[in-house]
Amino acid sequence: MNTEKKWTQTEVVALYNKPIMELLYEAATVHRSHHNPNKVQVSTLISIKTGGCPEDCAYCPQAARYHTDVKAERLMSVEQVKAQALAAKANGSSRICMGAAWRNVKDGPEFDQVLEMVRTLNRLDMEVCCTLGMLTENQAQRLSEAGLYAYNHNLDTSAAYYEEIISTRSYDDRLKTIENVRKTNITVCSGGIIGMGESIANRAAMLITLASLVPQPESVPINALVPVAGTPLETMETVSIWEMVRMVATARILLPQTQVRLSAGRTNMSREGQALCFFAGANSIFAGDKLLTTPNPAVNEDMDMFEALGLIPQQPFEKKSQPETVIPEAVQYHDQRERPQWSRPDHRIERNLAKQQQEK
């Protein structure tokens, strides 16, 4: 039974348009009642099968029909994926998300290989996520049996605006895949993109759809469109930081227990802008220099930002749905060796000294 508030589009648009200080205060209050505001979950996205996608998503450079710099590649090997996952874990990531440029999963050798990837990464004590396109109920169950922790399947936008962006699969197709995932013990990751020409009402409608799912998604990525030459949306202007802050804050209020992920578009945001998003309720990011094929801040930049803001990477499989008492940083780790290397105060000093020596 869904006990969350039933929002109307008018209410959500009014919420989104509140004076920014009021909106931030309300969102931060909701955030602190359900989450530790100093913890951020860090994910790494690996493109295990790049390019050659038969779909026509207007924002995506991986679509075979568009003339972009993205070239079709073969499915990566299990060993290649494991090596990248180990590097991501060393840099503080608690989750690996494997993305394949497929319209839907097809049973056969390639899907068997993905299942082996899931089993292999599971043994690394990391949360394992996949985004592979549409899934049948049986395929979702097989992923669950392999140990998949989360499945990402974004709605992208509202049902009313969807056909302006995609024609090769329906909105109901997307909801059906989420329904198939929910029949297993896999958690759901589903969000959308802003800056594709949609209205604020469209943004509100998408959030209402996500908030109306029972249960609500455990993770909701909020992406800012990164216009790519050769795609139909190549001339779109990037959204302002205020639009991202408002979207994150509104998502936090509608989805109080969900992890709201600050996703694509972070390269266009200042550190101060990202800090506002964290204050508004974002508590997850993608780390690494690429999100599938679009740019992302370098790992060392995120290290510096976390240190400056006093943020702590969330541990794998850490429960997120219950309020946490914020305790002083000094007692959060009984042993400093338990703490991710780049979040240790002494490591910051060492790195700064190394920079000074290089400058000399």
Active-site residue, 57 included: yes
Choice among 97, 142, 174, 203 that is catalytic: 97
Q: Single out the catalytic residue among 95, 129, 142, 252.
A: 129
The closest of 35, 27, 32, 96 to 320, measured between CA atoms, is 35
From 252, 261, 266, 339, active-site residue: 261
**Side chain identity at residue 179, one-letter code:** E
Catalytic residue among 142, 169, 174, 189: 189
Other beta carbons within 10 Å of 58:
19
Q: Give the ranges where the chain is alpha helix by DSSP (H).
A: 9-16, 20-34, 78-90, 109-122, 137-146, 171-182, 200-212, 241-254, 271-280, 299-309, 345-359
Distance in angstroms (rounded) separating the CA atoms of residues 360 and 348: 19
- Least Cα distance to 225 among 266, 171, 166, 275 occurs for 266
The residues with which 100 forms a beta bridge, in sequence order, are 49
Choose, from 57, 246, 266, 339, the residue flagged as catalytic. Answer: 57
Active-site annotation holds for 351: no
Q: Catalytic residue at 130?
A: no
B/e letters for 244-267, b = 16+ CB within 10 Å, e = fewer, are bbbbbbbbbbbbbbbbbbbbbbbb
256 cis-preceded (ω within 30 degrees of 0): no
Is 60 considered catalytic here? yes
Catalytic residue check, 252:
no
Give the type of residue at 312.
Answer: I
Q: Which of 53, 252, 266, 339 is catalytic?
A: 53
**DSSP structure class, residue 60:** -
Give the separation between CA 355 and CA 360, rounded to whole angstroms. 9
Which of 317, 1, 100, 284 is closest to 187 using CA atoms? 317
Contact 190, 154 (CB under 8 A): yes
Intra-chain end-to-end CA distance of the chain, in Å:
63
What residues act catalytically? Answer: 53, 57, 60, 97, 129, 189, 261
